[in-house]
Amino acid sequence: HDFAEAIEDHLDKVAKARGYRNADRLASYVASGNSAWAGEAAAFATWRDAVWMYAHAQLAAAQTGQRTPPTVGGFVAELPVITWP
């Protein structure tokens, strides 16, 4: 639970740093008529998926002993980095 909460907080921080209220608000602009907002939302949604896919794979690897269990803070630091349009 700590990992999921930390990841959600990270997603929100990235969205806020781009000027949006939170991750959900940013993602909601994917169908915007404003091409800049739509592009940012599409990039964010793609990145958010990459973050969760990485998180699930790495946490499963830790549970099965394939990697050292990470700390929450350390794990957030190793998440993929977003590339904005």
Q: Is the pTM of this model over 0.75?
A: yes
What count of other Cβ atoms lies within 10 Å of the Cβ of residue 69?
12
Per-residue pLDDT of the chain (85 residues; tens, 9 = 90+): 699 999 999 999 999 999 999 999 999 999 999 999 999 999 999 999 999 999 999 999 999 999 999 999 999 999 999 999 9
Contact 78, 59 (CB under 8 A): no
Residue 14, phi then psi, degrees to nearest 5: -65, -45
